[in-house]
Amino acid sequence: MHTWLPGEKWVFSHWAPFEEQELKQALGLRGRQLEAYLYNDHRTPAELAARRGVPLDQLAERLLDPWRASASPARLARLRDQTLRILTQGHLAQHVFYHAFHGVPVVDNAPAVFGVSGPEYVRLRARGWRPLRIAHRGGRSYREVRDGMIGLFAAMRAEGIRDRLAWPPESGRIFRRSVRALPCWLRRGMPESDPGNPYGKARFQHGAHPAGWPATPAQRRLNDRRAERVRRGLHRSCWRPPPAWRR
């Protein structure tokens, strides 16, 4: 299943080992074009690099260059592995950069942040309750739950930087992106049932398909059309929709 994610802490903590801006520059992208490209998560940064004449190993070395002055060979090897996986797995790249709330340890911290137990939080979310409604049930104000969530984002960022698994400027960028989206997330349902949320829509974009699909140019064009149809069909809401990908 192409939406599979490795069950590793760096993945769910959104610890990117390189600068997103450097990746965009290497691929000739500007603004939000990387998000537009990755919205169809059958696409990978490595494929775009190949089409633009940038060898994968060369791209990885460029992205990791800022670490060379301070990281040990063993550390560089680990960061290189994570970088190559982001570059060659479209859904992983989409997740690390843009799935701001997937992986935040909300359930484990539900008593402190939302005033309800973890199982109660899960049960209410499954029933369609918005996070802010759950917080009100637990006696938490908007400001209290907002500050609690920002604290979780900050703790994730600090741990990645401390353990030297996240590049600090990129961690700051992902942190700010999460904070900007927080007021919307607090008032919306689960991604798969929220018609305005751009993500959590892979089953609508791609449908059921065999491993290795899309493999042919015709299949890739079909997949591109499906993903664009879902993007264009997003309801207007507080979520910021990705722009269209222009080849």
pLDDT tens for the chain, 247 residues: list them. 567 899 999 999 999 999 999 999 999 999 999 999 999 999 999 999 999 999 999 999 999 999 999 999 999 999 999 999 999 999 999 999 999 999 999 999 999 999 999 999 999 999 999 999 999 999 999 999 999 999 999 999 999 999 999 999 999 999 999 999 999 999 999 999 999 999 998 888 888 888 889 999 999 999 999 999 999 999 999 999 999 998 7
How many angstroms separate the CA atoms of 70 and 82, rounded?
A: 18
pLDDT reported for residue 88: 97
pLDDT confidence of residue 1: 52
What is the distance in angstroms between the CA of the first residue and the CA of the last residue of the chain?
26
Which residue type, as a one-letter code, is found at position 2?
A: H
Q: What is the pLDDT of residue 66?
A: 97
Report whether 36 contacts 243 (CB < 8 A): yes
Report helix, strand or coil for 238.
Answer: coil
Question: What is the sign, positive or negative, of the torsion defined by CA atoms of 160, 162, 166, 168?
Answer: positive
Which two tokens mark 93? 């790249």
Q: What is the 3-state secondary structure (H, E, C) of 170-214?
A: HHHHHHHHHHHHHHHHHCCCCHHHCCCCCCCCHHHHHCCCCCCCC
CB burial string 45-78: b at 16+ within 10 A, e below: bbbbbeeeebebeebbeebbebbeeebeeeebeb
Residue 51's nearest CA partner among 18, 26, 20, 80 is 26
Copy the structure tokens of residue 167: 């590049």
Residue carrying structure tokens 């689960």 = 190
How do the residues of the chain divide into helix, strand and coil, expressed in percent and rounded to 5? 60, 0, 40
Q: For residues 166 and 24, give the distance between their C-alpha atoms in angstroms, rounded to a whole number.
A: 18
If we measure between CA atoms, which residue out of 17, 26, 28, 39 comes closest to residue 223?
Answer: 39
